[in-house]
Amino acid sequence: MASLGTRMIGAARLDAGTYEEVEADTTATGQAALVVVISSLCIALGAQLHAGLGGVVGVTLFRLAAWFIWALVAWLVGTRLLPGAATQADLGQLLRTLGFASAPGVAGILGAVPGLQGVVGIVVSLWMLATMIVAVRQALDYETTGRAVAVVVVGFLAYLLVAVVLVSVFVGAGPPP
């Protein structure tokens, strides 16, 4: 069994074998959650949140909830609406692979370097999108990447919906101007 760091590097490098390994390792769900937490902390610190510790904790809790929702949606869409011929997956497999797919978020800490925040945000977001496509493809045993892209697009739309709902609940919509 590979170490957490080795798995994170493999996931960030888009290594299909790493995703297959964490998909099959039912004990890796805790590691996947830890990757989401580490990634979230790095992204929050790199974004230089001025909300203090509460803001960093809030971002981390939000991203943990969004990870679960995204995995659930990807599992439902991937196994019910867009299954491939070889698709057999459970929610745990999606949680593990998508958790490790957030590994590139560690690079988000580079957003703390003056002048790099915007570029780092874009690069990390696109990198994580690519890792999520590989994660979905491997977890759902797809033979092509196109089907995985479709699942990720639907999952992303659900993620945005959750984000809007959670932000409005925790931050509040406020009175109209």
pLDDT per position as a tens digit, 125-162: 999 999 999 999 999 999 999 999 999 998 788 778 87
Residue 67 belongs to some domain of the structure: yes
Residue 173 belongs to some domain of the structure: no
Residue in 34, 26, 37 with CA at minimum distance from that of residue 89: 26
Residue 93 belongs to some domain of the structure: yes
Residues 6+ apart with CB under 8 A from 174: none
Domain that holds residue 84: 4-167
Residue 175 belongs to some domain of the structure: no
Would you state the pLDDT for residue 55? Answer: 78
- pTM for the model: 0.88
How does pLDDT run across 25-82, given as a tens digit for each residue? 999 999 999 999 999 999 988 887 666 777 788 888 888 988 998 899 999 999 998 9
Residue 88 belongs to some domain of the structure: yes
Residue 172 belongs to some domain of the structure: no
Q: How confident is the model at residue 108 (pLDDT cuts 50, 70, 90)?
A: very high
Total structural domains in the chain? 1
Residue 20 belongs to some domain of the structure: yes
Residue carrying structure tokens 């580490």: 38
Phi, psi of 102 (to 5 degrees): -85, 0
Residue 128 belongs to some domain of the structure: yes
> CA 21 to CA 17: how far, in whole Å?
6
**How many CB atoms are closer than 10 A to CB 33?**
16
C-alpha dist (Å) from residue 74 to 5, 47, 137, 149, 165: 25, 27, 11, 11, 19
**How many CB atoms are closer than 10 A to CB 50?**
6
| 8 A C-beta contact, residue 104 and residue 128 | yes
Q: Is 96 exposed, middle or buried (0-12, 13-18, 19+ CB in 10 A)?
A: buried
